Structure 1
Amino acid sequence: MNPLDFTGRAVVVTGGTRGIGAAIAHAFRMAGANVLVCGRSLAEVPGYVQADVRDPEQAAALIETAVDRFGRLDVLVNNAGGSPQVMAADASPRLHAKVIELNLIAPLHVSQAAFPVMRDQRGGGSILMIASVSGVRPSPGTAAYGAAKAGLLHLAASLAVEWAPFVRVNSLVVGPVGGPAGELVAGRAADPADVAGACLLLASPLAGYVSGAALAVHGGGEWPAYLAEFRGAAYPPQK
């Protein structure tokens, strides 16, 4: 039996219309799962439902829709998030509140709605939080975002204890995805597919006794600024 075969399983991915979310949704579909994705704006993608997960009623309706369509809910990926680059002293109180609401409160809303479904079905369920390295190191320019992602890690660890053994709750600490930021990490930035593969692993029976974990998906992490000169000398660019 292939432990990465999700045939007949039901998956919800918030913010699953583009970027990391779209890659996660695609990976689960390729593994045989029935996948529902959501976003705030209309999108022409498979299994799409329009929902603003910052609203607890819409978050609950999203889970209800998944259960109505698929009869169960096996995996929830709380991926929706993000923040504009604004220095903390210049950001408005409203912006700070919205960033924290999207990146921390919304995952709690959706997870709360998913829990009773997963608890009461055979096999339980798995919830994945897409966190960030911004939550485990300074995040200048996105301070509220980093604080929210740090809170998300704590939330996942707390829910893992509260909801065991019925529901496993884990986090992915994701590094820079795409773009020139790859120069700061282990040779390259992450591809969305790298994050998607880690989601498949954590949601699978291979991680059946893994809960409350924070899996680093950052290629080894960033070089400290004080070692930048050494890094260039030790590892010259490959031609």
Structure 2
Amino acid sequence: MELKGKVAVVTGGTRGVGAGIARALAGAGAQVVACARRAPEVPLDGVEFAPLDVRDPAAVRAFFTALPRLDVLVNNAGGGPYRLLADADAERHARVVELNLLAPLTVSLAAYEHLRRSTGSVVMIGSVSGSRPSPGSAAYGAAKAGLENLARSMAVEWAPDIRVNTLVVGMVRTELAHLHYGGADGVAAVASTVPLGRLAEPSDIGAAAVFLASDAAAYITGSSLLVHGGGERPLFLDAATANKET
């Protein structure tokens, strides 16, 4: 799964999952550019930083026009705050959809000609929130569901020149994990609900992205790869009384 000689762009690639992906692509031999609004707080060896707000279509088009070549695009930029639907107006929720769905479309269209010439690959970073109820992040979940569907349609329209796949990511231990799950005890409690017994590390997501971007996945397009440690243990298994010792 080598990417030697390839040029890769990772949006939102300066921290968390994006940084893990950027490091993994660079480790596989790619020349990597990480785009974000702010420079990385921790240096990313072998990764070039380029300032870019993916919600600015004109800036996105200018950035990709200036690139001499592109082989791999990872649409990772995204996220959203915890916000119940009734606690904000539609315009505020729409900003979450803009970042997580419309921005990847804008970026992909801007990168299209480069990727077509190089017979390249797009990797969308989806979420398990796109396929389950997501109270407190409903707009984010809806956007991620749309992103996965967009990737499937894009894969058909852009074949055979460009492969497009989605990594459906579960819970990840990043530098911001405590904001979602609490301290060490909270992280451990959440990790216990995952069949593999831990949260993902950014490097786990990076390794999966390298696979989809590489020739090892040459016959894979329009697919969604679950990277979630087995998902979540169904609650009914704990609630069921059959076969329990009394």
Aligned mates of 2:143, 2:218 — CA distance in 1: 27
Answer yes or no: is the 8 Å Cα contact 1:182–1:190 preserved in 2: no
**Among 124, 134, 145, which residue is 1:139 paired with?**
134
Aligned mates of 1:193, 1:42 — CA distance in 2: 20
Aligned mates of 2:87, 2:34 — CA distance in 1: 34
Q: 1:113-161: per-residue Cα shift (whole Å, max 9, x none)?
A: 111111123xx00000000000011111100000000000000000000
Corresponding position of 1:185: 194
Q: How does 1:33-182 map to 2 (within 5 A)?
A: 33-43=30-40, 45=43, 46-65=47-66, 67=67, 71-121=68-118, 124-178=119-173, 179=177, 180=187, 181-182=190-191
Answer yes or no: is the 8 Å Cα contact 1:83–1:145 preserved in 2: yes
Answer yes or no: is the 8 Å Cα contact 1:128–1:170 preserved in 2: yes
Aligned mates of 1:141, 1:164 — CA distance in 2: 37
**Among 225, 230, 237, which residue is 2:235 paired with?**
225
Q: Percent of aligned positions with the same letter in both sequences?
A: 53
Corresponding position of 1:202: 212
Answer yes or no: is the 8 Å Cα contact 1:131–1:153 preserved in 2: yes
Q: For 1:139, what is the secondary structure of its paired residue?
A: coil
Aligned mates of 1:166, 1:74 — CA distance in 2: 11
Greater RCO, CA 8 A, separation 6+: 2
* 1:97 Cα deviation after fit: 1.0
Q: Which moved more, 1:82-91 or 1:218-227?
A: 218-227
Answer yes or no: is the 8 Å Cα contact 2:14–2:39 preserved in 1: no
Q: How does 1:6-21 map to 2 (within 5 A)?
A: 6-21=3-18
Aligned mates of 1:62, 1:175 — CA distance in 2: 30
Q: For 1:89, what is the secondary structure of its paired residue?
A: helix
Unaligned runs of 5+ in 1: 235-239
Q: Match of 1:32, as an amino acid?
A: G
Q: Match of 1:61, as an amino acid?
A: A
Q: Match of 1:201, as an amino acid?
A: F
Aligned mates of 1:222, 1:168 — CA distance in 2: 29
Answer yes or no: is the 8 Å Cα contact 1:104–1:152 preserved in 2: yes
Aligned mates of 1:142, 1:170 — CA distance in 2: 23
Q: Match of 1:209, as an amino acid?
A: Y
Q: 1:177-229: per-residue Cα shift (whole Å, max 9, x none)?
A: 02523222121111111100000111111110100000000011111222235
Unaligned runs of 5+ in 2: 178-186
Q: For 1:160, what is the secondary structure of its paired residue?
A: helix
Corresponding position of 2:223: 213
Q: Match of 2:77, as an amino acid?
A: A
Alpha-carbon RMSD: 1.7
Q: For 1:219, what is the secondary structure of its paired residue?
A: coil
Structure-2-length-normalised TM-score = 0.86
Corresponding position of 1:237: none
